[in-house]
Amino acid sequence: MESPSRGGVFSEGTDSRVEQFAESISFDRRLYHQDIRGSKAHAQMLAGQGLISDEECEAICQALEEIRGELDSGSMPMRFELEDIHMHIEQALIDRLGDVGRKLHTARSRNDQVSTDFRMWVREALEQTDQLLAEVQRAFLGRCEKDFDVVLPAYTHLQRAQPVLAPHYWLAYIEKFQRDRERIADCIQRVNQSSLGVAAVAGTSLPIDRHRTAGELGFAGITRNSLDTSSDRDFVLESAFVLSVIATHLSGWAEEWILWSTVEFGFIQCPHAFCTGSSIMPQKVNPDVLELTRGKAARVMGNLQTLMILTKGLPLAYNRDLQEDKPPLFDSFDTIQICLQLAAPLVAGAELQRERIAAQIEEGYLDATTLMEHMIAAGMPQRRAHHLVGAIVGEAMQRKVTLAELPLDVLQKHAPELDESVRDVLGTRNAIEAFTSEGSTAPARVRSQIQYWTERLSASE
């Protein structure tokens, strides 16, 4: 049986070791839906342009659907000598239709065929990832009203800084994942350009209609330069970068909740369905899903590095190196999607340890900055207020009391300008109520943001 990829110029068959070395069917078989869809659109365009007959087009499209059925069921044998999924489908078509099957590759190279299939696959994978990100956003949003009364310490340098409402934390992650979704939408614009019809490298002398196939395949337009298109993998790199940023956000969230779930913090309890035990220590409840999410982020970032190095030294037009672009990107999408699938129910099912949080919330002088701003609002220069509050905190530390527990005369010893109104900003709950700025943890601002995201995420369902 002839291989459609080897012309008559070859004087001997391919070494079997080369066949195994060069194959990509072991990983690119997952492109078969896109390849069949692209091939049908190409056949219909060829018929529309008079390059094949309507009867030949109908026979090709019918046979392609039969081949899809075999691939769906797993009954088509995979053979290394046919290299990739594109050659498997073409050979199966030739086996059924003979010369009619051989006509499908008119005005098409595997270079533009592979690029088109991969663009379609990436486009779908980006859209699926966007939907999963929205589910994680909704999981965080679903916690906001339930946890509205909980005050948490916000940290800088992993040291207690200021108090924030728990939903302010949840909204912060909604914002991060929204930026990820915006990057996906922006990336899709460049992915969503059809490569089909640029042929091998220079285009074709045959009268094809690239816009027709682009429209049939749901592309927004066509690539403009055949030479560039043959080697362009910017859409792969950009997708890998977007996934790496998502991985960064997931890893940061996982790290925070891993810390929060420790005895030392005791802020949150993860659902046991997302934890594992120890083979020797019966008391252990380990946050394995969070740890693996943090660990798998490294793979996603490593895949971006692999792809950057893969493409950094390639000349224009297609080089076989580009076959290696698929495993890293497939892995990154698979990894991010399973992490997101687990993140949404984990977020929804976790429980804040309210009593433990409340027992510790006054530790760390989280209201110090609000006390300083109270002085500033009364007319004191910021640097002087900062210095005086530092001295007040030092005295509270010596006395082992909170700022709210210091008598007024002690406060006035450091800052005579203070009066009883200072009580309105001392203590974490009062400090929370003192915030006013947009984007802050002020209860009214947080409620406004909850309403904003409720409407926005409902509209995108």
Q: What is the pLDDT of residue 16?
A: 78
How many structural domains is the chain composed of? 3
Give the active site residue among 16, 26, 53, 278: 278
Range of the domain at 274: 111-150+165-358
- The Cα 120–Cα 334 span in angstroms is 16
User: Which of 342, 358, 374 finishes a domain?
Assistant: 358
What's the Cα-to-Cα distance from 97 to each of 64, 103, 237, rounded to whole Å? 11, 10, 38
Q: What is the pLDDT of residue 301?
A: 98
CA–centroid distance for 275 within its chain: 23
Q: Is 244 a catalytic residue?
A: no
Q: Is 414 a catalytic residue?
A: no
- The Cα 197–Cα 424 span in angstroms is 71
How crowded is residue 117: how many other Cβ atoms within 10 Å of its Cβ?
26
Task: Render 49-112 in DSSP notation, one character per residue.
Answer: TTSS-HHHHHHHHHHHHHHHHHHHHT-SPP-GGG-SHHHHHHHHHHHHHTHHHHGGGTT--HHH
Interval 62-86: pLDDT, tens: 999 999 999 999 999 998 888 899 9
Interval 268-315: pLDDT, tens: 999 999 999 989 998 888 999 999 999 999 999 999 999 999 999 999
Residue 309 lies in a domain: yes
Residues 146 and 282 in one domain: yes
User: Which of 295, 330, 358 finishes a domain?
Assistant: 358
Give the active site residue among 11, 73, 75, 157: 157
Torsion angle of alpha carbons 339, 342, 346, 347, nearest 10°?
60
Q: Give Dmax (Cα) for the chain.
A: 101
CATH number at residue 291: 1.20.200.10
User: Which of 319, 334, 358 finishes a domain?
Assistant: 358
Residues 429 and 328 in one domain: no
pTM more than 0.85: yes
Q: Which residues of the chain register pLDDT less than 50?
A: 1-2
Structure tokens at 304: 């971006």
Q: What angle do CA 343, 347, 348 make, to 5 degrees?
A: 120
Residue 4 lies in a domain: no
CATH number at residue 447: 1.10.40.30
Residues 229 and 305 in one domain: yes
Residues 262 and 279 in one domain: yes
- The Cα 229–Cα 111 span in angstroms is 9
